[in-house]
Structure 1
Amino acid sequence: MNHHDTIVALATPSGAGAIAVIRISGQEAISIASEVFQSIHQKDITKQKSHTLHLGHIVDGNKILDQVLLSIFKGSNSYTGENTIEISCHGSTFIQQQIIQLLLRKGCRMAQAGEFTLRSFLNGKMDLSQAEAVADLISSDNEAAHQIAMNQMRGGFSNEIAKLREELLNFASLIELELDFAEEDVEFADRSQFNDLLNRIEFVLKRLIDSFAVGNVIKNGIPVAIVGEPNVGKSTLLNALLNEERAIVSDIAGTTRDTIEDELVIDGIGFRFIDTAGIRETKDLVESIGIQKTFEKIEQAQVVLYLVNGLQLTSNTQLDTFINEIGKIQNQYPQKALIIVVNKKDLISTDALTIINNRIDIFQAELSTVNSKLFTNFISAKNKEGIDDLKNQLLSFVNTGALRNNETIVTNTRHYDSLLKALEEIQKVKYGMQTNLPSDLMAIDIKQALYYFGEITGQVSNDELLGNIFANFCIGK
């Protein structure tokens, strides 16, 4: 693909609106725009300063297409690092297409997905991780995802990686120098300092790798499955959490036969709630399919809300049966956070609530040596009692401390993969230090670690990698 020609695309969402922005970028952007733009003050836009606005008309010969506001950004002072024009026109889809088609006839080419940001990367305006953060910022739909994307776009992540890479590169240069003077047995790289650096790099890499568990769920939302027997109030709970009548509520067991999903943002963190079909034995073919989907959704979820009707736990026999069911779920999905949600607390006597709570506490104590991911909440879904406590419980599963402290959080799978590979190479170098591995062999592992660092920021890249990354962008960005 030619990245030196002039491209054009709609920068705002497609469809009608109050205004639309058409973006042009390339060496000929200003001269092409000057052919179709007539300033109301008769200004020659080829002679105007960067970062200026001009009111005028887009004309096709003697035909006026629209009155517009034209913005000029020159060279390295623009988003792409090359001459850029932005035309703010009225939001009619007809006007948008007429202007874009006119610009194409004047010599522009239609931009590919993400090509404006790709040019920004190629022109040194941002590194690759910052460019990817642009896409994350556009797609962010909650405060936490927005905060992480903003931090990465400002260079928080890439600066941390670049600093480590620079220090490692300095030592790599000294080791290469030693190899040049191998016959003289000269040591230029202080081995104790090098070991300290390796320990520091290993610590930072492990921290960044561990942060991916939090970053990934913040970026994509935390899936929460609401499960339980039929008619215990799962749909009522979903409606209470969302504060709207999202799911059909009925006294008829088996009303929910398919999964219902919706999203809720709690203190800036996105949660995807999945109301599932009730778990029971049934001969109804359609309901059986719904129950099968329930177990599929449990597999996909990170948190499972197991809802039970508290009125059905008032005898020891009922309690024992329920605890056995919880034990089966816990054994089947040991890595998932499981919240026992006891519903209809408003209809249960204080003594009965105490008995239920004590019995579950004993079960949790027995389980704590194996798995501590079991929690209990008492609610009344119908009256919305205990819903706020349940939301706080869900929020506690996300480590928001890193967000509050503005720590770097990894959200990109590509970065995560490169960090894992870089850590593996650093650990090889550490092992080489401990076993007195020859410098020429250690140098190979150091170069490989530097390669993976460079992959993250784009200091090492290829057309296939760039194509895969920017193909996920919208056209006008």
Structure 2
Amino acid sequence: MSLIHTLTTTDTIVAVATAAGTGAIAVIRLSGPKAISITNAVFKGKDLAGQPSHTIHFGTIRDGEKVLDEVLVSLFVAPHSYTKENVVEISCHGSDFIVQQIVKLLLSKGGRLANAGEFTKRAFLNGQFDLAQAEAVADLIASDSALSHEVAMKQMRGGFSQEIKRLRGELVHFASMIELELDFGEEDVEFADREQLRALINNIQSIIRELLKSFELGNVIKNGVPTVIVGKPNAGKSTLLNQLLNEEKAIVSDVPGTTRDFIEDEINIGGITFRFIDTAGLRETTDKVEAIGVERTMQKLSQSSLIIYLFDITEETAEEVQAELDRLNPDKRPILAVANKMDQASPEKLAALQQSITGVLPISAAQGANLDELKQALVDKVTLGKLNTQQQTIVTNLRHVDSLNKTYAALDDVLNGLALGISNDLVAADIRRALYSLGEITGEITTDDLLDNIFTKFCIGK
């Protein structure tokens, strides 16, 4: 377990920092005390030793007299680098052969291959940023929507960490006062005002509740909205999926029961990633395979965050639709009733339907009519339109949720202990538990197993 992070290394790590595969440019990254000297040993151009930080130098990488490639070498001299160590980035041509030859040469000069996430792990251990910010680096790399990018950027810049450190700092003050009382136990003195302590804990718990509540939105931003398209056979579910994805993902047929398993794909709408799932049509069937598909549809419904109930306006009455909406959604998740084949219905029928079912949206999946309105309705259903990511602190990490829950439980024990009048040493122990759990979030308290679990999920060059 560690409270203060320092890293003293004698080895220099090497990794390809760009994605695998042939491209115009590849970047090979080195970090460690010998990063510059190792590169200098194979680089012909300027002498890199003594060159200023944040400079770029043109030259060639050579294995003896053999030229491997013309490159640009970027220097970042400690502590002014991502890892706070000497860092070199070699930009070479993107041939897999060239990249592997250069990496092999660097290893022969004293480097070693980096482990997954080792560059970011070194940055964390050297105090470049805290653990929550380090995890946000991985989220930023994985971000695939405007909102996920925005939230990851805010967390990487310390937005969430500052909130946690502020809460922890306030609690540390009272913990130190109670610990001081233990030193004067025989004199019956009270340094920590119990009413102020209760007020502080109630305030911290209120903030934690808001942070935990934000995880529902944070998880949506980070992982996308699981959205199930459900309805009876031939309602047009597969046609709608194909229209939303703008490709022929699902088989479209007039034969009922064509979709016997779920089909899944993602699309970004309004900066939000939706994971659409086209399911088997809901009906009674004697076909064993189709019956399994219907059963899986119900399973997917229970796992969804948003439901699109698509129905054929020419086949179902308003009463039937409302009954299905109630039956399919006992947990009251966001559900959108979508009336397909509006082009085949009279204006009077459309008007009557919209009066009977609140929020029903008429479309024509085949003709692509009202799809923009459907997309906007989906964004509105997720309620992210009112989300202010610039001001609101949003939790996106399940590890942070676990630590916040443990903190909340420990603070509950502090309040219960104060109410029962238990001894100061037990109250202090419960406060220390809360501080420990908060410290786990930012990395003020860590274990090697925790760090390994986090950083091994990063890519090698990060």
CA distance in 2, matches of 1:164, 1:232: 52
**Matching residue's letter, 2:388:** L
Q: 1:308 and 2:311 equivalent?
A: yes
* Paired position in structure 2 for 1:369: none
How far did residue 321 of structure 1 move?
Answer: 4.1
- Structure 1 unaligned spans of 5+: 362-374
* Paired position in structure 1 for 2:340: 343
CA distance in 2, matches of 1:449, 1:4: 37
* Paired position in structure 2 for 1:416: 401
Superimposed CA distance per residue, residues 200-247 of structure 1 (whole angstroms, 9 cap, x where no aligned partner):
211211111110010011100001111111111111211232344433
Deviates more, 1:446-455 or 1:281-290: 281-290
Instruction: Give the TM-score normalised by the residue count of structure 2.
Output: 0.94
* Paired position in structure 1 for 2:66: 63
Task: Please say if residues 10 and 33 of structure 2, whose CA atoms lie closer than 8 Å, have aligned partners that are also in contact.
Answer: yes
CA distance in 1, matches of 2:408, 2:10: 38
* Aligned match for 2:435, one of 428, 433, 450: 450
Superimposed CA distance per residue, residues 371-423 of structure 1 (whole angstroms, 9 cap, x where no aligned partner):
xxxx5322222233332332222212334334344311000000010001101
Task: Please say if residues 306 and 341 of structure 1, whose CA atoms lie closer than 8 Å, have aligned partners that are also in contact.
Answer: yes
1:18 alignment partner, SS class: strand
* Paired position in structure 1 for 2:245: 242
- Structure 2 unaligned spans of 5+: 1-6
2:357 alignment partner, SS class: helix
* Aligned match for 1:194, one of 194, 197, 219: 197
CA distance in 1, matches of 2:290, 2:249: 20
How far did residue 319 of structure 1 move?
Answer: 4.5
Q: 1:128 and 2:153 equivalent?
A: no
Superimposed CA distance per residue, residues 74-133 of structure 1 (whole angstroms, 9 cap, x where no aligned partner):
111110111111100010000000000001111111101000000001111111101100
* Paired position in structure 1 for 2:118: 115
* Paired position in structure 1 for 2:327: 328
Alignment of 1:110-259 (within 5 A): 110-259=113-262
* Aligned match for 1:284, one of 284, 287, 291: 287
* Paired position in structure 2 for 1:381: 365
**Matching residue's letter, 1:421:** K
Task: Please say if residues 12 and 30 of structure 2, whose CA atoms lie closer than 8 Å, have aligned partners that are also in contact.
Answer: yes
Task: Please say if residues 151 and 389 of structure 2, whose CA atoms lie closer than 8 Å, have aligned partners that are also in contact.
Answer: no
**Matching residue's letter, 2:362:** F
Task: Please say if residues 334 and 382 of structure 2, whose CA atoms lie closer than 8 Å, have aligned partners that are also in contact.
Answer: no
Task: Please say if residues 309 and 343 of structure 1, whose CA atoms lie closer than 8 Å, have aligned partners that are also in contact.
Answer: yes
CA distance in 2, matches of 1:173, 1:327: 55
**Matching residue's letter, 1:434:** A
* Aligned match for 2:297, one of 274, 294, 298: 294
Task: Please say if residues 3 and 119 of structure 1, whose CA atoms lie closer than 8 Å, have aligned partners that are also in contact.
Answer: no
Task: Please say if residues 150 and 389 of structure 2, whose CA atoms lie closer than 8 Å, have aligned partners that are also in contact.
Answer: no
Q: 1:393 and 2:399 equivalent?
A: no
Distance 1:405 1:263, change over 3 A: same
How far did residue 320 of structure 1 move?
Answer: 4.1
2:116 alignment partner, SS class: coil
1:424 alignment partner, SS class: helix
**Matching residue's letter, 2:91:** S
CA distance in 2, matches of 1:58, 1:48: 18
* Paired position in structure 1 for 2:451: 466
CA distance in 1, matches of 2:452, 2:389: 34
Q: Percent identity?
A: 54
CA distance in 1, matches of 2:82, 2:141: 15
CA distance in 1, matches of 2:420, 2:288: 64
Q: 1:272 and 2:280 equivalent?
A: no
Superimposed CA distance per residue, residues 266-321 of structure 1 (whole angstroms, 9 cap, x where no aligned partner):
211110111112122333344333333322322221111111111113xxxx5544
* Paired position in structure 2 for 1:435: 420
Distance 1:404 1:114, change over 3 A: closer
* Paired position in structure 2 for 1:365: none
* Aligned match for 2:353, one of 338, 350, 356: 356
2:49 alignment partner, SS class: helix
* Paired position in structure 2 for 1:14: 20
CA distance in 2, matches of 1:330, 1:98: 59
2:360 alignment partner, SS class: strand
Distance 1:182 1:474, change over 3 A: same
Superimposed CA distance per residue, residues 4-49 of structure 1 (whole angstroms, 9 cap, x where no aligned partner):
411100000011100100001111111111111111xxx2211111
**Matching residue's letter, 1:440:** D
How far did residue 194 of structure 1 move?
Answer: 2.3
CA distance in 1, matches of 2:164, 2:321: 50
Q: 1:5 and 2:11 equivalent?
A: yes
